[in-house]
């Protein structure tokens, strides 16, 4: 029996699946050739990350499929309800990437507070001749300790981020549609320190925070959570961070807010039009952007691979 890992898989995860007696193919099959590849090889399981779409026509045209696995959290690239109706199991690996995404957010916070992205990008070109003027331009950072982070969406990643932010001496506010309080455990050396955080209102989080980080799923109808009205309520020094899903921050209204100096900056790992994001965002001097790499660490990918193997074992009843 063959499984196609179309967006790649960690070597330990691949070995764990193969130890169940399955063959794992890691060919990168283009989207428009997927149906014929799956049928030609009688693929029983299709594993994807965010790049491959698994829509109704593919599900209908590939009767050999018994499961579709998403290495990661959001399954918006899979017609999951339809697949389940047709008897095809769909699973994801929700817990594996939280720490990695939270660490990327912390990296973005530190990078934006000290202009690392802009200063680091300028040094290879002008560092030799314009050292003093670069020092003047970028030597006006601020400390992270004591700043307030507002976390919108306080699920797995939001809570993992709170632990890092609290550890760095930040004040943490959160807003979540389904929570009024949440206990956070800080693991320091071999000690565990528990603290209870109370929900704030959405308006408080938006208007008080120095950093506003989004950790919500793709919203119904693709609605944004942060747009024009929210930018108008933010502090002038506010930095908006989106590692959740493209579209949860309205990109055109973000550009407007940055150009009008309503907020200080933005850090984006996800975009409305992936894999071809709006160039105005990528080129903007106040935006730090990364190509959807929140979960792209060795540790997260290994955990994802092993979680996939566990799911397959459960589904195939090995």
Using CB positions, name the residue nearest to ligand NAD: 155
In the bound state with ligand NAD, the residue whose beta carbon lies nearer, of 200 and 262, is 200
Q: How far apart are CA 123 and CA 71, in angstroms?
A: 37
In the bound state with ligand NAD, the residue whose beta carbon lies nearer, of 46 and 295, is 295
Least Cβ distance, residue 308 to ligand NAD (angstroms): 15
**What percent of the residues of the chain are helix, what percent strand, and what percent coil, each to the nearest 5?**
40, 20, 40
Positive/negative CA dihedral, 231, 237, 119, 111: negative
Least Cβ distance, residue 243 to ligand NAD (angstroms): 4
The CB-side HSE value for 32 (13 A sphere, CA atoms) comes to 0
In the bound state with ligand NAD, the residue whose beta carbon lies nearer, of 83 and 216, is 216
Q: Which of 33, 85, 143, 274 is catalytic?
A: 274
Residue 156 designated active-site: no
Residue 292 designated active-site: yes
Who contacts 120 (Cβ-Cβ below 8 Å, separation ≥6)? none
Q: Which of 89, 292, 303, 307 is catalytic?
A: 292
Q: How far apart are CA 131 and CA 134, in angstroms?
A: 5
Least Cβ distance, residue 161 to ligand NAD (angstroms): 9
Least Cβ distance, residue 104 to ligand NAD (angstroms): 7
Q: Which of 114, 156, 215, 245 is catalytic?
A: 245
Residues in touch with ligand NAD (CB under 6 A): 72-74, 94, 97-98, 101, 152-158, 175-178, 215-217, 219, 225, 243-245, 269-270, 292, 294-295
Residue 215 designated active-site: no
| DSSP bridge pairs for 191 | 188
Q: Which residues are catalytic?
A: 245, 274, 292
């Amino acid at each position: 029996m063959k499984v196609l890992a179309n967006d790649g898989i960690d070597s330990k995860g691949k070995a764990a699946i193969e130890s169940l007696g399955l063959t794992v193919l890691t060919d990168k099959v283009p989207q428009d050739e997927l149906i014929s590849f799956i049928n030609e090889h009688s693929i029983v399981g299709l594993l994807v990350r965010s790049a491959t779409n698994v829509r109704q026509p593919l599900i209908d045209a590939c009767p050999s499929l018994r499961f579709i696995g998403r290495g990661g959290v959001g399954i918006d690239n899979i017609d999951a309800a339809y697949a389940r109706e047709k008897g095809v199991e769909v699973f994801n690996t929700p817990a594996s990437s939280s720490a990695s995404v939270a660490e990327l957010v912390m990296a973005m916070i530190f990078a934006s507070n000290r202009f690392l992205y802009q200063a680091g990008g300028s040094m290879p070109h002008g560092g030799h001749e314009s050292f003093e003027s670069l020092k003047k331009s970028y030597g006006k950072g601020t400390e992270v300790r004591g700043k307030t982070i507002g976390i919108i969406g306080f699920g797995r990643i939001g809570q993992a981020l709170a632990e890092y932010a609290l550890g760095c001496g930040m004040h943490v506010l959160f807003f979540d549609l389904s929570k009024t309080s949440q206990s956070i455990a800080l693991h320091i050396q071999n000690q565990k320190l528990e603290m209870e955080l109370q929900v704030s209102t959405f308006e408080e989080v938006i208007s008080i925070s120095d950093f506003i980080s989004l950790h919500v799923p793709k919203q119904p109808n693709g609605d944004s959570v942060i747009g024009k009205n929210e930018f108008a309520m933010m502090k002038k020094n506010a930095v908006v961070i989106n590692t959740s899903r493209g579209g949860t921050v309205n990109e055109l209204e973000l550009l407007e807010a940055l150009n009008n100096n309503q907020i200080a900056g933005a850090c984006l790992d996800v975009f409305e039009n992936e894999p071809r994001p709006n160039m105005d965002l990528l080129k903007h001097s106040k935006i730090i952007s990364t190509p959807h790499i929140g979960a792209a660490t060795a540790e997260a990918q290994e955990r994802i691979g092993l979680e996939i193997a566990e799911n397959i074992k459960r589904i195939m009843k090995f």
